């Protein structure tokens, strides 16, 4: 206590070499402050200093169709096309801008885009922001955008996945130009609207200027990261492939979905009545609060399976799954939840996305995931459930656009485990794949001490599969014990034995975490980066998650890159061969194509060969194929 008092007491006798007048604030040191803002990337703060903002050193001309000639274009123009919403399959172009270092043009008149002069300019490789979106938008006007030599959005995505890839972010990170966010200019949510013409065109012109200035900076950084080829040989060509897939769309039979909806509703109604009878009263099954009261108060199910919050008892899936073996009503509730989710999200929900051409045109988001995997929105076709038969049946509604064609599905077999074998160099895993062994059976034998393949039971193989994929995702003994329903001690034994039997994998995991801690990031085989700012965190849980991410990202990201290479090569082969076959969908490790009947034999060979030859690994790549009159039959 006395020490604390001494520490908190001001020493009024301490010798001080400056006087009180010397400490008076005379205003900021603008030069030092500006230098600090530059170092930290605080562009808006720098502009707010007493001096002038970054000057707009370019002219903006508001172009009219009748006035635009070939003289308004150069060989190094930058193009930007704007829409108000997100779904460019249904949204119209509200304005556009193009230009070069000193002169930028902007317009809202889409008639200009269809002019011979403008189309001639677009027929060359252009600098653009979001090539895929631009290609789809222009296709609605009958205009082809064949290629691009730079895409600012994709470049930003490759450089950093920590922040979004909007032009306002690019302006802040790679230029000293101020650029308002779209939210500021257009508004948010229900208030989002097209602003006055002058405001709109000025904003579009500034966007063009931003990525024109940012281009050399971004290219330099890509080269420093060894990512130039990733942009020009992978992501840009892929954007063209994806755009063509989105434009083509896939035919979906609304009638089939309607018939499924009727059948599902019968099941839902039956389950509802059964749940009411078992509960002894009617209640809102969809209300977690009411469901919690029924299960834990009225029926008296064990409270140790749940936790109580301010809103009531938890009835999350993991809680219900633990209760299901001891309470038949819970099994019914889980079944009810599954089928109502299918009904609302897919059977009924998909119908909202069928356009006038009878097709669904999903949007592939190329720059969202930190691993490089593609995602799908409006609608999300990658999330259609396939573990349940009722979920798989939804694929019956997806059909070829003509009667003389089929759908061909080609799916990489265990690609992530094959990538793991290659990256880790583990001789046992490599040998198993080279011998064509069932990898999960092989793992069961090595980890569980089973001598012969025929002695491996289905349950052994299931457990081995959980271990294999759990290792890929850096699973803990706690996670594996939950997945397999075994003790943590037994789960730890499985993991320890796995690493003893596959020492190369353990060495890879240790090395990649060590490198991540040193560099702050990990890379795929093709230099795609995953930044890991928390890899050295003092918080155990935060650091542990980053370490598991470091282990998984090179595997998952490399698998995604391999599929992208296969898609690019396949598209090239289709074009060069003059085939009518079209790629329609990409779902996880699967590619779905629409194939005319007279091209099926050729396509079965071409697709398999192209996918398996995408890259050369230490183990063979295997693609499994099926075809049918529906996506369900082809899977």
Can you tell me the mean pLDDT for 163-177? 95
Q: Which stretch of 19-33, 42-56, 599-613, 616-630 has the lowest confidence by average pLDDT?
A: 42-56
CB-facing half-sphere around the CA of 60: CA atoms within 13 A: 18
Q: What mean pLDDT value characterizes the chain?
A: 92
From-to residues of CATH 3.30.70.370 in the chain: 381-415+560-634
Contact of 91 with 84, CB cutoff 8 Å: yes
CA dihedral 47, 51, 53, 54 (to 10 degrees): -100
**Which pLDDT band, with edges at 50, 70 and 90, does 473 fall under?**
confident
CATH architecture of 252-360: Up-down Bundle (1.20)
Q: Which stretch of 85-94, 313-322, 362-371 has the lowest confidence by average pLDDT?
A: 313-322
Strand partners, 141: none
From-to residues of CATH 1.20.1060.10 in the chain: 252-360
In this prediction, what percent of the chain has a pLDDT beyond 70? 93
Which pLDDT does position 475 carry in this prediction? 86
Helix ranges (DSSP H) in 381-453: 389-392, 415-424, 427-434, 439-448
**Which pLDDT band, with edges at 50, 70 and 90, does 55 fall under?**
very low
Strand partners, 625: 410
Give per-residue pLDDT as tens, 277-330.
999 999 999 999 999 999 999 999 999 889 888 889 999 998 999 899 999 999
- The length of the chain, given as a count of residues: 635
Which pLDDT does position 626 carry in this prediction? 98
Can you tell me the mean pLDDT for 203-225? 97
From-to residues of CATH 3.30.420.10 in the chain: 59-248
pLDDT value at 50 more than 50: no
Question: 59-248 in CATH: which number?
Answer: 3.30.420.10
pLDDT value at 53 more than 50: no
Sign of CA dihedral 597, 378, 169, 552: negative
Can you tell me the mean pLDDT for 598-612? 98
pLDDT value at 581 more than 50: yes
Q: CATH homologous superfamily for 422-557?
A: 5' to 3' exonuclease, C-terminal subdomain (1.10.150.20)
Residue 440's SS3 state is helix
In whole angstroms, what is the distance from residue 460 CA to residue 447 CA? Answer: 10
Give per-residue pLDDT as tens, 6-49.
778 777 666 666 555 555 555 566 567 667 766 676 655 655 55
Which pLDDT does position 5 carry in this prediction? 74
Determine the straight-line distance between the first and last CA of the chain, rounded to whole angstroms. Answer: 75
Which pLDDT does position 102 carry in this prediction? 78
Q: Which stretch of 406-410, 483-487, 598-602 has the lowest confidence by average pLDDT?
A: 483-487
Q: Which CATH number fits domain 381-415+560-634: 3.30.70.1290, 3.30.70.370, 3.20.20.70, 3.10.20.740?
A: 3.30.70.370
Residue 9's SS3 state is coil
């Amino acid at each position: 206590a006395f020490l604390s008092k001494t520490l908190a007491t001001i020493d009024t006798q301490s010798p001080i070499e400056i006087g009180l007048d010397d400490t008076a604030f005379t205003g900021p040191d603008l030069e030092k402050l500006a230098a600090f803002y530059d170092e930290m990337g605080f562009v808006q703060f720098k502009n707010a200093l007493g001096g002038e903002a970054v000057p707009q050193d370019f002219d903006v001309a508001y172009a009219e169709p009748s006035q635009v000639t070939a003289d308004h274009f150069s060989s190094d123009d930058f193009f930007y096309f704007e829409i108000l919403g997100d779904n460019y399959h249904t949204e119209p172009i509200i304005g556009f801008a193009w230009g070069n270092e000193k002169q930028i043009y902007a317009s809202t008149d889409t008639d200009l885009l269809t002019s011979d002069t403008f189309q001639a300019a677009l027929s060359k490789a252009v600098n653009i922001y979001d090539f895929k979106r631009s290609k789809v938008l222009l296709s609605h006007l009958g205009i082809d955008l064949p290629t691009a030599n730079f895409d600012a959005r994709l470049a930003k995505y490759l450089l950093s996945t920590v922040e979004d890839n909007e032009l306002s972010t690019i302006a802040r990170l790679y230029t000293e130009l101020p650029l308002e966010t779209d939210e500021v200019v257009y508004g948010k949510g229900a208030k989002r609207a097209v602003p006055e013409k002058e405001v709109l065109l000025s904003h579009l012109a500034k966007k063009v200027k931003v990525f024109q200035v940012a281009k050399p900076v971004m290219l330099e950084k890509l080269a420093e990261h060894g990512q130039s080829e990733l942009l020009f040989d992978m992501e840009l060509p892929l954007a063209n492939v994806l755009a063509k897939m989105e434009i083509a769309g896939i035919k979906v039979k609304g009638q089939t979905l309607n018939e499924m909806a009727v059948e599902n509703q019968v099941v839902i109604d039956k389950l509802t009545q059964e749940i009411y009878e078992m509960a002894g009263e009617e209640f809102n099954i969809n209300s977690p609060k009411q469901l919690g009261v029924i299960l834990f108060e009225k029926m008296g199910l064990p409270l140790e399976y749940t936790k109580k919050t301010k809103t009531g008892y938890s009835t999350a899936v993991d809680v219900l799954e633990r209760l299901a073996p001891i309470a038949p009503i819970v099994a019914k509730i889980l079944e009810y939840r599954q089928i109502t989710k299918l009904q609302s999200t897919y059977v009924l929900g998909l119908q909202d996305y069928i356009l006038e051409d009878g097709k669904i045109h999903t949007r592939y988001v190329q720059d969202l995931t930190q691993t490089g995997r593609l995602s799908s929105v409006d609608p999300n076709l990658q999330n259609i459930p396939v573990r349940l038969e009722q979920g798989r049946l939804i694929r019956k509604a997806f059909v070829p656009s003509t009667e003389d064609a089929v759908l061909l599905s080609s799916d990489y077999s265990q690609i992530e485990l094959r990538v793991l074998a290659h990256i880790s160099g583990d001789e046992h895993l490599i040998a198993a794949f080279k011998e064509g062994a069932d990898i999960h059976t092989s793992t069961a034998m090595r980890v569980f001490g089973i001598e012969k393949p025929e002695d491996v039971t289905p349950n052994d193989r299931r457990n081995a599969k959980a271990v294999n994929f759990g290792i890929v995702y850096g699973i803990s003994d706690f996670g594996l014990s939950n997945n397999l329903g075994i003790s943590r001690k037994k789960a730890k034994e499985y993991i320890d034995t796995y690493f003893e039997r596959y020492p190369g994998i353990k060495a890879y995991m240790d090395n990649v975490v060590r490198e991540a801690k040193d560099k702050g990031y990990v890379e795929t085989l093709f230099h795609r980066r995953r930044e890991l700012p928390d890899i050295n965190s003092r918080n155990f849980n935060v650091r542990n998650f980053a370490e598991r991410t470091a282990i998984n990202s090179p595997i998952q990201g490399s698998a995604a890159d391999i599929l992208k290479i296969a898609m690019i090569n396949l598209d090239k082969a289709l074009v060069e061969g003059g085939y009518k076959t079209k790629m329609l969908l990409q779902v996880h490790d699967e590619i779905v194509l629409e194939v005319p009947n007279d091209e099926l034999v050729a396509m079965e060979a071409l697709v398999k060969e192209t996918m398996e030859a995408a890259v050369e690994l230490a183990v063979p790549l295997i693609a499994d194929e099926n075809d049918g009159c529906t996506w369900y039959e082809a899977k």
